[in-house]
């Protein structure tokens, strides 16, 4: 089969031909890959490759896969050969979706939504994360205001849409000036240029000095401090990029703030409950896609052979929108 491997010694991606992977354990399935999504975590494999057990020059990444089951492990239940599936893979396994065939734990599969495979494969990493952040953690249906750091990115663009669907009245986000109209089209009510030195002041003015009820940091760097600072009394925040440090956040104790950490893929490592956090989010997002309640803006579909180049461009922050590679013709 054709595959895109990661070469750790040279920090490059290489097009190769490898044997079709064999089942690793009794709960696994072999999936024929229709389409695979490209995400920043895939591009930044150089930061986590050393933690992958058994990885070598044949390591294949690619977490977000839409495809078809072609082989079942002995303990697989509820699935059959020929079933079309969607999943967010485990980054610490070696046979990912940047290949014609991939291996996945059957207990984290969901049914392929009634959409194109290109659209389906574009959603797990970004949309499922957004769902886990604003629906599972922040209970967005009970809120009237939210601040999203990085609204024009993959996760941020879905978080805005989910907040709008939930009826949130005030949706404040940051992004570059060129993307202001774009995030407004998704549902943002107020947009602030992330380069502004007075983002906090502007948020407080919008909220009549009360602050927002909840916030999400989709960016990292110093945005955790900002996302905590814009919260009002007993506000809640989700951090998606780095480890929270509540002692760095002004007024965290006196305002009674609460903080959530979220790593979508960690669900693979924590038993039935962990796996259910993935499948529940995935099923909910797929239903919204089928109903036309969510859109995947600026979706770009590339050929399989372009994956390596696209990952390097993504690492260097030279891409816009969502990228999906078509694998099966």
Per-residue pLDDT tens digits for 100-111 = 999 999 999 999
Contact 148, 175 (CB under 8 A): no
- 121 Rama class: left (phi>0) / alpha (psi -120 to 50) / beta: alpha
Per-residue pLDDT for 180 more than 80?
Answer: yes
Q: Which residue, among 117, 121, 169, has the nearest Cα to 143 in the 3D structure?
A: 169
Which pair of tokens denotes residue 246?
Answer: 């509540």
83, 70 in Cβ contact below 8 A?
Answer: no
- 50 half-sphere exposure, CB direction, 13 A CA radius: 4
Beta-sheet pairing, 212-217 with 145-149: parallel
- How many DSSP H helices and E strands does the chain contain? 9, 15
Q: Phi then psi for 263, rounded to 5 degrees?
A: -130, 105
Instruction: Locate all alpha helices (DSSP H) within the chain, ordered by sequence.
Output: 40-43, 117-121, 129-131, 154-165, 180-186, 199-206, 223-229, 271-290, 307-315
Nearest-angstrom CA–CA distance, 162 and 127: 9
Residue 41's pLDDT band, with cuts at 50, 70 and 90, is very high
At 195 the three-state DSSP class reads: coil
Tokens 């990115």 belong to: 153
Calpha distance 189→141 (Å, rounded): 17
The pLDDT confidence band at residue 69, using thresholds 50, 70 and 90, is very high
Q: Give me the pLDDT at residue 276, please.
A: 98
Contact 282, 87 (CB under 8 A): yes
User: What's the pLDDT at 315?
Assistant: 87
Q: What pLDDT is stored for residue 83 in this prediction? A: 98
Name residues whose C-beta falls within 8 Å of residue 77's C-beta, 6 or more positions apart in sequence. Answer: 106
What percentage of the chain has pLDDT greater than the value 70?
99
pLDDT of 320 higher than 70: no
**CA-CA distance, 24 to 167, in Å (whole number)?**
45
Average pLDDT of span 278-299: 95
Predicted confidence (pLDDT) at residue 321 exceeds the cutoff of 90: no
User: Residue 274's closest CA among 62, 8, 90?
Assistant: 90
pLDDT level of residue 297 (50, 70, 90 thresholds):
confident
């Amino acid at each position: 089969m054709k595959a895109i491997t990661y070469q750790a010694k040279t920090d490059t991606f290489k097009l190769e031909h490898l044997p079709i992977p064999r089942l690793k354990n009794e709960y696994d399935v072999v999936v024929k890959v229709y389409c695979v999504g490209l995400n920043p975590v895939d591009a930044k494999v150089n930061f986590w490759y050393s933690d992958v057990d058994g990885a070598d020059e044949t390591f294949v990444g690619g977490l977000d896969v839409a495809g078809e089951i072609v082989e079942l492990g002995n303990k697989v239940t509820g699935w059959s050969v020929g079933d079309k599936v969607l999943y967010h893979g485990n980054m610490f396994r070696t046979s990912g979706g940047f290949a014609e065939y991939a291996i996945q734990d059957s207990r984290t599969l969901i049914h392929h939504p009634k959409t194109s495979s290109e659209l389906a494969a574009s959603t797990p990493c970004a949309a499922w994360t957004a769902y886990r952040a604003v629906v599972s953690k922040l209970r967005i249906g009970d809120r009237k205001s939210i601040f999203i750091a990085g609204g024009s990115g993959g996760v941020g663009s879905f978080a805005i849409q989910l907040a709008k669907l939930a009826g949130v009245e005030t949706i404040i986000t940051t992004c570059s000036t060129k993307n202001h109209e774009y995030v407004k089209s998704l549902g943002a009510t107020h947009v602030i240029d992330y380069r502004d030195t007075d983002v906090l002041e502007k948020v407080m003015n919008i909220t009549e000095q009360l602050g927002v009820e909840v916030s999400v940091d989709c960016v990292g760097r110093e945005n955790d401090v900002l996302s905590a600072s814009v919260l009002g009394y007993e506000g809640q925040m989700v951090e998606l990029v780095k480890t929270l440090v509540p002692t760095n956040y002004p007024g965290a104790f006196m305002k009674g703030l609460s903080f959530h950490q979220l790593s979508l893929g960690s669900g693979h490592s924590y038993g039935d409950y962990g796996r259910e956090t993935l499948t529940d989010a995935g099923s909910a997002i797929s239903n919204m896609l089928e109903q036309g309640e969510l859109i995947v803006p600026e979706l770009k579909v590339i050929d399989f052979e372009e994956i390596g180049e696209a990952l390097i461009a993504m690492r260097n922050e030279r891409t816009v929108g969502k990228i999906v590679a078509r694998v099966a013709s």
